[in-house]
Structure 1
Amino acid sequence: MSDTDARREPDAIAWPPSWPRVLDADFGPPPAGEYRATPEDFQVAEVLDFAPEGQGEHLWLHVEKRDLTTAMAVRELARLCEVSPRDVGYSGMKDRVAVTRQWLSVQLPGREAPTGLAEALAERGIRVLAEARHPRKLKRGVHRANRFRLRITGPAVADPTLEARWARLVEQGVANYFGPQRFGPDGRNLQRARSLLARGWRKRDDRDGMMLSAARSFLFNEQLAERVHDGSWHRLLPGEVAILDGTASQFTLETPDAELEARAARLDLHGSGVLWGVGGSVAAGEALDREARLAERYPALCAGLERAGVRLARRALRLRLGEPTLTRGEGELWLAFSLPRGAFATAVLRELIAHPTL
């Protein structure tokens, strides 16, 4: 086998991965629990930092949908408005088995929305809460956060350590794993990504970039798992690229001092992992050494992402729970919290309950 063939051969990846939980060291594995038995058990509201201006060629709709993915809602809105799905905008993708609130936009230059649009959408499980015009299409990733309200049932509700587990997450933060939905049932998105990257990624085979995303997410989770395993996931390493909580601001630390470590303890700063792609890493020292080891473990995935031309980026290793609450009921427990865009509620749940999908 030539050197080129060796680089292109897919990396061996066992599935499912055994990415460690943060709380196991102090509390042991979490008890069994159930979540999302019905869509009403998993409620998500998208949070924007701005509102539509009230005029323009794009009609923005604030909708609540039940048991529908964002892609399904986009297709339905496009069909009813007789436009291409490309003319419908959204900020974030939302799960299907859930009740979710988010904004959608549809480009209707010089014309009004079809008569009875809200009623037609309601018949398909999409309730229009508000509408307004705006000059521009709603772009991906512009929302600031998602607000979750989740119902848990099963043995975990009676677990005497549950409140202590929750308090630890509120105090210390949550390991920012990509959720299992990113990888598809039985990891099939990742397996497909390996094949695409091995033969050379082409956009026509992955128009939405989901396979690229699955590969980068897996590599990030592997970095985070190593940091959870050695207890450094919530600390700052020499050469770490720190991310300021709630922002995209980041900077490289040569040697963390007492002040920076105190800020990390307050959840003001988080260490980061690389989302693999083209471009030199700004990490240094021990942090850069860890990235090099990742490339040595998964050369085909890393090389394939670079050949695909995706740009290197970074993601915080830790999440702060915004406005966290825990409320007990009869045989049930409700959690409410906010997470920044791109974060997964399943990363929180897997620390509290054991479930086959977590």
Structure 2
Amino acid sequence: MTDYTLPQWHYLLGEPSSEAWIRREPEHFQVDEMLPFTPDGAGEHHLLHIEKRDLTTHQLAKIVAKFADVPARDVSWAGLKDRHGVTRQWLSVRIPGKVDPDWAQLNDRYITLLAAHRHGRKLRTGALLGNRFKIALSGVTDRDALEARLAEVSKGVPNYYGEQRFGHGGNNVRRAAEMFSGRKVKDRNKRSIYLSAARSFLFNHVVSARLAQHGVTPLAGDAVMLHGSNSFFVAEQWDAENLGRLLQGDIELSAPLPGDGDLRSQGVANAFETEVLAPFAELTEGLKGARVDVDRRRLLLKPEQFRHHWEDDLLWLEFVLPSGAFATSVLRELARYQDAQAIELRSEIE
């Protein structure tokens, strides 16, 4: 089997000289989901805004389903949130009829109900305007070097999937390869996790290779995405008009999320992407066999409303990212950070 150990993905700004810690305290990593709509106040779905600590989204959903006495499939969420930190996210619970549970009874040391509304439709995966982050870096070394990077990071960083997508040591990618080789995975949730890990691993590889070999220079045949949209078109040649639109941010470079179909790029860009993916035929063929749709994802990630301030020895960062983007992709360009919670988890496993 191919070695799926996670590599050191290429840095856009070069490897940072500063070092720092994240998540030394739960409050040092805060996430707020931003809905693209206002609950309508009527319907069979209950939208719950919940602050959670020391729980994954799946664990929270099981608790809510048990409390409401509904099947697990009737509880949904827009995005998965990590266990470690303080996260405020939305869940929807389908309860036909006029039953209104006393949702405040969910409150305990791990769960705080912030709001509850009725709504006419189920909350679906990805139905977010974005996520607002408030993160503290502690134990920062070489402050001057980190300060110099803050302005550069706000212009864009590689849009990598975060290490949490791949499981401990990249195990989810290995599990995907085993599944593609014939290992049965009956749990639908685990199957979905392994498929996502495989696609994310391939995407990161293409992005890393692209930045290492070409930087952010466009290639003939690039599939470019319209700003603020998932629509894309192929730039067969980079004429003055397309280059102008790229510089203005009207269009953005992308990389493939492989699956069942062509990569959507053409020419030089397609040849490059195909070459990078060639060593991972086990994964690309497995994704085709699983009938996962091919898609594209932006090459670069640009944090919005980026700001920072020092509070004693803590550097507080605040920014907004679109749904599906990872805050750790921003942090890794600022400093070589260590995740206190990840280290604690590894020590428990070992």
Instruction: State the TM-score, normalized to the length of structure 2.
Output: 0.92
Q: Is the 8 A contact 2:22 2:338 kept in 1?
A: no
Work out the CA distance in 1 between the residues paired with 2:119 and 2:313. 45
| Aligned residue among 34, 42, 45 for 2:29 | 42
Q: How far apart are residue 207 of structure 1 and its match? A: 4.7
1:311 match: 293
- Verify the 8 A CA contact 2:331 2:337 in the aligned structure 1: no
Deviation of residue 223 (structure 1)? Answer: 0.2
Distance 1:213 1:167, change over 3 A: same
Corresponding pairs, count? 340
CA distance in 1, matches of 2:101, 2:117: 15
Determine the structure 1 residue equivalent to 2:3: 12
Residues 1-358 of structure 1 mapped to structure 2, 5 A cutoff: 10-13=1-4, 15-24=5-14, 28-115=15-102, 117-118=103-104, 120-156=105-141, 158-171=142-155, 173-199=156-182, 204=187, 207-232=190-215, 234-357=216-339
Aligned-residue sequence identity (percent) comes to 40
Paired residue type of 1:243: M
Scaled by the length of structure 1, what TM-score is found? Answer: 0.90
Unaligned runs of 5+ in 1: 1-9
Give runs of ≥4 in structure 1 deviating > 3 Å.
200-208
Q: Is the 8 A contact 1:49 1:143 kept in 2?
A: yes
Report the Cα distance in structure 2 between the residues aligned to 1:105 and 1:91, rounded to whole angstroms: 9
Q: How many angstroms apart in 2 are the aligned matches of 1:274 and 1:347?
A: 18
CA contact (8 A) 1:235 1:264 kept: no
Q: Deviations over 1:152-201 (max 9, x none)?
A: 01133x42121221111112x11000100011111111111111112277
State the distance in 2 between where 1:64 and 1:308 align: 35
Measured against aligned partners, the alpha-carbon deviations of 1:269-321 in whole angstroms (never above 9, x if no partner) come to 22111111002232111111012213422111111111111111111111111
How far residue 349 of structure 1 moved from its aligned partner, in angstroms, is: 0.6
SS in 2 for 1:16: coil
3-state SS of paired residue (1:199) = coil
Shift of 1:82: 0.6
CA distance in 2: counterparts of 1:33 and 1:224, whole angstroms: 25
- Alpha carbons of structure 1 residues 313 and 262: separation in structure 2 relative to 1, 3 Å: same
Structure 1 counterpart of 2:91, which letter?
Answer: L
Deviation of 1:355 after TM superposition, in Å, equals: 2.6
SS in 2 for 1:296: helix
Paired amino acid for 2:330: V
CA contact (8 A) 1:235 1:261 kept: no
Contact between 1:201 and 1:308, CA under 8 Å: does it hold in 2? Answer: no
